Amino acid sequence: MKNPENYFAKNGYIFGDSYKYAFGSWHHNIYKFTDWNKAVKWLHTEEYDFRTRELICKTEAIRCGYEDID
């Protein structure tokens, strides 16, 4: 995503994707953030199993397995 801060300002939320390639497939954990500061803090926190983290839009979150229930 080119400018996640603008996406958050426009929509009031953003998604975080924590992903890792293991045993021949990608594993994604998707989180929804409604607080920009919490999203940035999450983004810069290292995870125990060396996952890659990035901020993504809703469309990408759904492609990675997020189910829109709200």
Q: Spell out the residues 6+ positions from residue 8 whose beta carbon is closer than 8 angstroms to its own.
A: 14, 33, 36, 39
Orientation angle between helical segments 36-43 and 4-11, nearest 10 degrees: 150
Helices (H), 1-70: 4-11, 36-43, 58-63
Q: Is the pLDDT of residue 69 over 80?
A: no
What is the spatial distance between Cα 47 and Cα 3, in angstroms, rounded to a whole number? 23
What are 19-28's pLDDT values in tens digits? 999 999 999 9
What are 6-53's pLDDT values in tens digits? 999 999 999 999 999 999 999 999 999 999 999 999 999 987 888 999
Give residue 31's pLDDT.
96
Give residue 70's pLDDT.
60
Burial of 14 (C-beta count, 10 Å sphere; 0-12/13-18/19+): buried
